[in-house]
Structure 1
Amino acid sequence: MTRWLWGLVLVLAALSVRAEVIVRDDRGTAIRLATPPQRVVTLLPSLTETVCALGFCERLIGTDRYSNWPASVAALPKFGGMDDTQVERLVALRPDVVLAARSTRAVERLESLGLHVVVLEPRSQAEAKRMVAAIATLMGRPAQGAVLWARIDQQVQHAAARVPVALRGQKVYFEVDSAPYAAGSTSFIGELLAQLGLGNIVPPALGPFPKLNPEFIVRAQPELVMAVERNLRDMPRRPGWATLKALQTGRTCAFEVGRYDMLVRPGPRLGEAAELIADCLQALP
């Protein structure tokens, strides 16, 4: 009986490798492949990270220039970014599928050359969850998407329990760019902050990642400020920003570049990002 069951497992595994896969991307386009792809190119860091977190890093044959996690992807060919994808080099590798952002300019060009392109660019956690599910389905292992997202949820819940009670409800200015662009309450970062019991100075009406008037931030007087280290160091020198009480009292979270990447990518490391924020909040004066 044991031998029969083991044989059945092997047959099912073989069938899953050969089975046709169909996924619907962020454009609403259904992409159909005769078998799960074995040669994959990703053109967005969150897509690269998701492929690897699901256990399919060995199928990657190239990424965008910004993908840097896990460390193993550093050795893969790099094909530029959203605005300057190196189409000819990419096509020459004959990938089975290309995973790209909606804002990647080369999508239509790649499709015109006969490549399968799946467009996924999450801006909210719900969209990130759909991305995980879509990639797991594409790879022929749909159940692994649910397992991965359950692990992320568990990490976020654990981090939320660690946030000091005195800080819950306090409003955050989370800077994603020194222009300044902020993570609004409807972005995946804003949603993560809310899950940790924190507020946001950016109202939903301004969208997920609005460019703010610096005076808006000064008037809002956020109780907590979070940003990449270099930007946070520069903030007191910005006109009027020295009056921000959060900067005066050290109620800030400065993230080094490598760790900050984890916070601003809507992918499988969202749970770790939540833990990183909780670590900072526990250490505040």
Structure 2
Amino acid sequence: MMPLRWRRQLAAAGWMLGLLLALPSAHAVTITDDRGRALRFDQPPQRIVSLLPSLTESVCELQRCERLVGVDRYSNWPASVRRLPQVGGGLDPNIEAIVALRPDVVLLSVSSRVSDRLEALGVKVLALDHKTHADVRRVLGVLGELLAVPPEHGAERVWRVIDAAVQAAAQSLPQRARGARVFFEVSRGPYAAGASSFISETLVRLGARNVVPPELGPFPRLNPEFVLRAQPDVLMVANRSMQPMTQYPGWNHLAAVKAGRVCDFGPELSDVVVRPGPRMAEAARIMARCLAEKYE
């Protein structure tokens, strides 16, 4: 028979183990997403599916790229994510493919229509939205907290790089380009970058002005006639489809078009300038270079 002293020691050890198991994990965290829903994670997610390129890029910039197990069809940066399984688009993902990847969490846009379906299947969904600079900084912070990123690799480090790059790009802009009135087409429609968008905020920091007023929202779809009336000094076009910009009636008569003050960003540059995330630093340099070249 086991000595009484040993039995007491084993009982004490069992009691301590039970107490430790009952305590919350040191890495447990509750995250409230942009739908207002609180999600508890007992440990940082190890298997992540991202359905938004900007969120994919942010996870990688926060040094957690290896935790991605699937992405949407448009996530293409950094190059390593191109080797991951693709599960469709952010608005039309393959639910079965996502579930088969056994994700700890799915990152997607608030505008995605699949959140409820995924949650009904027991998949945790974190819906995030970033339309402004403040949103981008906040979302980086949320992801950093979720993934337990140490400060030296964290959200504030990434944001400082973005902020410093925008400031440096602004300082590089020649005086003759300052005050230029810009129309930025985000995608065919034309869908514009409104005054309350992160793109417009970057333009304003560079010293330009947006011809789209804030009351129209961050990314409004406009009648092409609006641009004809606004007569911007410079057109910036995110042209992933490589369609001719002059397809809109009357745009070939715009003064900016006649003067050659059009920056037609192809697919690679378009991906940079329209995504709210870590490559906003590069986007600021691209837009500043466009303005400088058009006023040489």
The residue number in structure 2 matching 1:196 is 206
Deviation at 1:121, TM superposition (A): 2.0
Which deviates more from structure 2 when the two are superposed, residues 224-233 or residues 142-151? 224-233
The residue number in structure 1 matching 2:292 is 282
Letter of the structure 1 residue corresponding to residue 180 of structure 2: Q
For 2:263, what is the secondary structure of its paired residue?
strand
Deviation at 1:22, TM superposition (A): 2.1
Q: After TM superposition, list the pairs within 5 Å mapping 1:226-241 onto structure 2.
A: 226-229=236-239, 234-241=244-251
The residue number in structure 2 matching 1:92 is 100
Q: Distance in 1 between matches of 2:79 and 2:241?
A: 25
CA gap 1:129/1:79 in 2 versus in 1, 3 angstroms: same
Q: Is the 8 A contact 1:133 1:142 kept in 2?
A: no
The residue number in structure 2 matching 1:13 is none
Match of 1:139 among 137, 147, 160: 147
Match of 2:42 among 34, 38, 44: 34
Post-superposition Cα deviations, 1:93-148, rounded to whole Å, max 9, x if no partner, equal 11111111112111111111112111112111111111100001000126301111
Is the aligned partner of 1:150 residue 2:160? yes
Letter of the structure 2 residue corresponding to residue 102 of structure 1: V
Post-superposition Cα deviations, 1:3-48, rounded to whole Å, max 9, x if no partner, equal xxxxxxxxxxxxxx95112222111212110001111110100110
Is the aligned partner of 1:114 residue 2:122? yes
Match of 2:81 among 66, 73, 80: 73
Is the aligned partner of 1:205 residue 2:191? no
Is the aligned partner of 1:244 residue 2:241? no
- Size of the aligned set, in residue pairs, is 269
Deviation at 1:233, TM superposition (A): 6.8
Letter of the structure 2 residue corresponding to residue 104 of structure 1: S
CA gap 1:230/1:36 in 2 versus in 1, 3 angstroms: closer
Q: Is the 8 A contact 2:50 2:56 kept in 1?
A: yes
Letter of the structure 1 residue corresponding to residue 236 of structure 2: M
Match of 1:222 among 218, 222, 232: 232
The residue number in structure 2 matching 1:125 is 133
Letter of the structure 1 residue corresponding to residue 190 of structure 2: P
Q: Is the 8 A contact 2:237 2:265 kept in 1?
A: yes
Which deviates more from structure 2 when the two are superposed, residues 64-73 or residues 96-105? 96-105
Q: Could you list the runs of 5+ residues in structure 1 that have no partner in the other structure? A: 1-16
Letter of the structure 2 residue corresponding to residue 109 of structure 1: R
Letter of the structure 1 residue corresponding to residue 98 of structure 2: L
Is the aligned partner of 1:60 residue 2:68? yes
Post-superposition Cα deviations, 1:146-182, rounded to whole Å, max 9, x if no partner, equal 1111111011111111112111111101011221111
Match of 1:44 among 36, 47, 52: 52
Identical aligned pairs, as a percentage? Answer: 50
RMSD (Å), alpha carbons: 1.7
CA gap 1:105/1:242 in 2 versus in 1, 3 angstroms: same
For 1:134, what is the secondary structure of its paired residue?
helix
Deviation at 1:228, TM superposition (A): 3.0
CA gap 1:115/1:186 in 2 versus in 1, 3 angstroms: same
Q: Could you list the runs of 5+ residues in structure 2 that have no partner in the other structure? A: 1-24
Q: Is the 8 A contact 1:226 1:232 kept in 2?
A: no
Deviation at 1:267, TM superposition (A): 0.9
CA gap 1:229/1:81 in 2 versus in 1, 3 angstroms: closer
The residue number in structure 2 matching 1:256 is 266
Q: Distance in 2 between matches of 1:67 and 1:279?
A: 25
The residue number in structure 2 matching 1:8 is none
Q: Distance in 2 between matches of 1:101 and 1:231?
A: 22
Q: Distance in 2 between matches of 1:18 and 1:59?
A: 20
Q: TM-score, normalised by structure 1?
A: 0.90
Deviation at 1:229, TM superposition (A): 4.8
